[in-house]
Amino acid sequence: MEEVGEEVSIPVTLTMVAPATPPISAPPSHLQSPSVTPSPLATPDTRTPRTPRTPRFITPLASPMRKAMVNMRGYLEEMGHLTKLDPQDSWLPITESRNGNAFYSAFHTLTAGIGAQALVLPVAFTYLGWSSGILCLTFAFFWQLYTLWLLTQLHESVPGTRYCRYLQLAKAAFGEKLGKLLALFPTMYLSAGTCTALIIIGGSSMKLFFQIVCGPTCRSEPLTSIEWYLVFVCLAVVIAQLPNLNSIAGVSLIGAITAVVYCTLIWIVSVGKGRPTGVSYDPLEPKSEVARAFGILNALGIIAFAFRGHNVTLEIQATMPSTLKHPSSVPMWKGIKSAYLLIGICLFSIATGGFWAYGNLIPANGVLAALFKYHKSDISRGVLGLTSLFVVINCLSSYQIYAMPVFDRLESGYTRKTNRPCPRWLRSGFRVFFGSVSFFVSVALPFLPSLAGLLGGIALPVTLAYPCFMWIVIKKPEKSSAMWYINMVLGSLGMVLSILLVAGGVWTAVDHRLKLRFFKPQ
């Protein structure tokens, strides 16, 4: 299936009378898009404003030529470009609506960038210790923030083209075959794998919430873990019937609020209740120097796993209108900065607060498991239940963000073969199908969230390496310039780290004798 970017033709100079109607090719559903609204040329202003670009000695003030040129100039400044749209873009869930703004960007980015993976960060500190843990977390935070900036600028890096999907940008940078090879699996894996992990975490949290609310004297027959997974999937699929990425902005807002609240609640309660007996902050003593090295790599993988969302950044930006005067990168970056201010506060607080509260006693599942393990008896059921409920809501919201690229790809296959939009029943069928597949995988691989270091290593190139190489290939900075060196060093470092982190994740799983309980959720 071929990916086609949105092509835009931007005239540089005006040397003749502009046509009465701009050459716009778009389906009827895009006529309401901000980028293809009716031209002001249809109803020209009777007044002719002065402009320094058309001096009087060349073009008389009241001449028809001058009026046409001024009107065209105003049109171009307002509309930004003459758009030749790929008709199928108006039929796909990522690009069919382009009324996004900085608030939508912040909501989506915050929901995609923070979640249950943040709760595992204190585990990385057990291998790294205080100083190394904070240093690595800080470096990773600013590194991924830099690559996010690169992606927002690369979205419209080529005049006349918007790269609305990560895979499109990868193909433009690395070529059709290599780009697909490098980016298709990681991005689809990040989307489908994250959705699977969210089903496991969300379903387990629903089970825990029921146990807390029901209490120890509850006589109800509890559901099994698989049944709770199914309940979560059913709720997620129902919410997924919202048609496109812009339509779930309210869902993302709710998910973002709940993520910030439960992260704050967990670390404040953990710190407030004091430390269990025997807490130590010294890095874990490994059996050998090899085990120490791989343990550190696994910790770095956990930190890398905490920073996700780059595979949906271009998709979020694609929902925004873009003109020459108001490019989409401006509201997108504004939303990212606001979102990552909150993400940074939450990640650093949960990492340092959780490690201070539990030290090396923290379970492998993270700080939430530690909270229930050490403070279940001295924390009110209301606080515990509210925390579990917020985790469930955040998982349901994050599921929508990460599933949208998969929905988009499934529907693009149909639209390219039939040259018509998906009917509503088929769109719903695709989403039910994906929910069923992710449910099956969650039941088959219930240990997936325990492989945070390994998953972080696999996803690291998409987040930290590929954007750097894309900038070099597309922007072509002068060789040996600062931007060339920065991107080449960071990109190469990211690829090397990815290989090492995968090895570290595999070693840690084997060394800790991780029990791979296939089809046995607990």
Cα distances (angstroms) measured from residue 394 to each of 125, 234, 253, 390: 25, 15, 10, 6
**Cα dihedral 394/395/396/399 (nearest 10):** 120
Taking each continuous run of H as one helix and of E as one strand, the counts in the chain are 16, 3
Cα distances (angstroms) measured from residue 67 to each of 22, 36, 134, 325, 450: 16, 22, 62, 21, 67
pLDDT tens, per residue, the chain with 522 residues: 444 455 444 444 444 444 444 443 344 334 333 333 343 344 444 444 444 444 444 444 445 666 555 555 554 544 444 444 567 788 999 998 889 999 999 999 999 988 778 888 999 999 899 999 999 999 999 999 999 999 999 999 888 788 999 999 999 999 999 999 888 888 887 888 889 889 988 999 999 899 888 877 777 778 888 999 999 999 999 999 999 999 999 999 999 999 999 999 999 999 988 888 888 888 877 777 777 888 888 888 888 888 877 889 999 999 999 888 889 999 999 999 999 999 999 999 999 999 999 998 998 888 988 988 888 888 888 888 999 999 999 999 999 999 999 999 999 999 999 999 999 999 999 999 999 999 998 888 787 766 666 777 777 899 999 999 999 999 999 988 999 999 999 999 999 998 888 887 777 666 655 556 666 666
Distance CA 41, CA 402 (A): 42
Closest CA to 266 of 351, 368, 118: 368
Residue 267 in tokens: 């670390």
- Tens digit of each residue's pLDDT (9 = 90 or more) over 337-361: 999 999 999 999 999 999 999 998 9
- Tens digit of each residue's pLDDT (9 = 90 or more) over 173-185: 999 999 998 888 8
So what's the pLDDT on residue 512? Answer: 59
So what's the pLDDT on residue 236? Answer: 96
Residue 272 in tokens: 């407030």
Distance CA 74, CA 41 (A): 10
Say which DSSP state 18 is in. Answer: P
> Phi first, then psi: what are they for 512, rounded to 5°?
-85, 5
Distance CA 347, CA 306 (A): 8
**What is the helix (H) or strand (E) element at residue 445, kind and residue range?**
none
- Tens digit of each residue's pLDDT (9 = 90 or more) over 256-282: 999 999 999 999 999 988 888 888 888
Largest CA distance in the chain: 93
> Phi first, then psi: what are they for 50, rounded to 5°?
-80, 150
- CA 285 from chain center: how many Å? 36
So what's the pLDDT on residue 116? Answer: 78
So what's the pLDDT on residue 414? Answer: 93
Query: Any bridge partners for residue 462, and if so which?
Result: none
**Mode of pairing for the β-strands spanning 6-9 and 82-84:** antiparallel
